[in-house]
């Protein structure tokens, strides 16, 4: 099998996959720049997009049989074009080690924001002791927007901090409220009511392109003054300009962002100039445990393709 990794994001992924492939199969792994995918399609059986868009033009030029995402997100793949050409499209659901890794990263961002970690690090270098004064997480209301595989381990972690947990999802039930330890549970349509009670908003929902920019001026204004926003879902959920305006005006206390409206985020994006923003480069799911699990799932689908079996976790 000839396997093409698109772009230079998640640079450790090819080696993790190599460790899980059958050595006897002598599979070939290629890594190409994101701008040169079309030029590297010859003889390719499997395309792994990562953050690269695989549109109808790329699909038309190749003879590959499987588009296999390294993770869950398929918003960059033209699934209908792949279906018309008879190409399988699969992902690796955000469960197990991947979901737990993202949940841990959300906790990191929450605590770093509350304790003003960037300023604390600057004060160490400046020789300033006893500052900044942080805020405790205990007793605060944390809203989990999206009650799926990431929110479940995150809810368990947050329970240890004695927070008041509320949640937003498309389906509301007593069973789900109990499972996620929620004091209140809101439908998506009532999210602004939840925002009004929120000290820390964690975005951990599944993403579709129709959701792009859904948290904009009105929605961010509905948050309690002094609230924090943490995004470990997809960057497209938030209107970047609206978030910058609310943060720079001091209405929101801070934001922890692992994903962005444009990825990679340009170095000159104004959001990066704000002292109340903690940004990380889409590493929520980048742990040894998570990558090992993803590599095993991708290798299994490559083996299934080799045997003539349909891959698992297919979108088409």
* DSSP per residue, 198-219: -SEEEE-----GGGTT-B-HHH
At residue 33 the predicted structure's pLDDT band, cuts being 50, 70 and 90, is: very high
Taking the C-alpha atoms of residue 160 and residue 176, their distance in angstroms, rounded to an integer, is 19
Cα-based distances in Å from 71 to 75, 113, 178, 297: 12, 27, 28, 10
Closest CA to 100 of 57, 157, 46: 157
User: Can you give the pTM of this predicted structure?
Assistant: 0.93
Per-residue confidence (pLDDT) for residue 206, from 0 to 100: 85
Residue the block writes with tokens 């801070």: 254
What is the band of 4 on the pLDDT scale with cuts at 50, 70, 90? Answer: very high
pLDDT at res. 29: 98
CA of residue 8 relative to chain centroid, distance? 17
Query: What pLDDT, on a 0 to 100 scale, did the predictor assign at position 285?
Result: 94
Mean pLDDT on 298-309: 97
Confidence class of residue 207 from pLDDT cuts 50, 70 and 90? confident
Residue 209: is its pLDDT beyond 80? no
Q: Under CATH, which number does the domain 96-279 receive?
A: 3.40.50.720
Which tens digit of pLDDT belongs to each residue from 77-106?
A: 999 999 999 999 999 988 878 999 999 999
Question: Looking at residues 181-190, what average pLDDT do you find?
Answer: 97
239-293 tens-digit pLDDT: 999 999 999 999 999 999 999 999 999 999 999 999 999 999 999 999 999 999 9
Calculate what percentage of the chain has a pLDDT beyond 70: 100
Find all residues with CB under 8 Å of 202, minimum gap 6, and list them: 106, 110, 142, 143, 144, 145, 151, 154, 230, 232
Contact residues for 80 (Cβ-Cβ < 8 A; gap 6+): none
In words, the CATH class of domain 2-91+287-307 is: alpha beta
- The CATH 3.40.50.720 domain(s) of the chain lie at 2-91+287-307, 96-279
Confidence at residue 213, expressed as pLDDT on a 0 to 100 scale: 85
């Amino acid at each position: 099998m000839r396997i093409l990794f698109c772009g230079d994001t998640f640079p450790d992924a090819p080696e993790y996959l190599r460790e899980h492939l059958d050595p006897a199969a002598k599979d070939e792994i290629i890594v190409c720049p994101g701008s040169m995918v079309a030029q590297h399609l010859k003889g390719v059986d499997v395309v792994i997009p990562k953050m690269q868009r695989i549109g109808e033009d790329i699909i038309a030029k190749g003879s590959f049989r499987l588009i296999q995402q390294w993770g869950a997100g398929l918003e960059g793949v033209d699934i209908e074009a792949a279906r018309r050409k008879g190409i399988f499209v699969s992902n690796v659901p955000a469960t197990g080690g991947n979901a737990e890794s993202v949940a841990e990263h959300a906790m990191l961002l929450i605590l770093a924001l509350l304790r003003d970690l960037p300023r604390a690090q600057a004060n160490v270098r400046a020789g300033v002791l006893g500052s900044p004064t942080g805020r405790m997480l205990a007793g605060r209301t944390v809203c989990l927007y999206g009650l799926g595989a990431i929110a479940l381990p995150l809810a368990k972690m947050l329970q240890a901090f004695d927070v008041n947990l509320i949640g937003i999802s498309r389906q509301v039930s007593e069973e789900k409220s109990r499972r996620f330890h929620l004091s209140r549970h809101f439908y998506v349509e009532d999210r602004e009511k939840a925002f009004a009670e929120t000290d820390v908003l964690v975005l951990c929902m599944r993403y579709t392109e129709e959701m792009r920019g859904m948290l904009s001026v009105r929605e961010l204004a509905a948050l309690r003054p002094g609230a924090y926003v943490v995004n470990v879902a997809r960057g497209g959920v938030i209107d970047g300009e609206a978030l910058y305006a609310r943060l720079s005006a001091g209405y929101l206390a801070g934001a922890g962002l692992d994903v962005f409206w444009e990825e990679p985020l340009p170095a000159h994006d104004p959001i990066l100039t704000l002292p109340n923003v903690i940004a990380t480069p889409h590493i929520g799911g980048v742990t040894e445990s998570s990558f090992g699990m993803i590599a095993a799932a991708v290798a299994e689908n490559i083996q299934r393709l080799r045997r003539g079996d349909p891959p698992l976790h297919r979108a088409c």
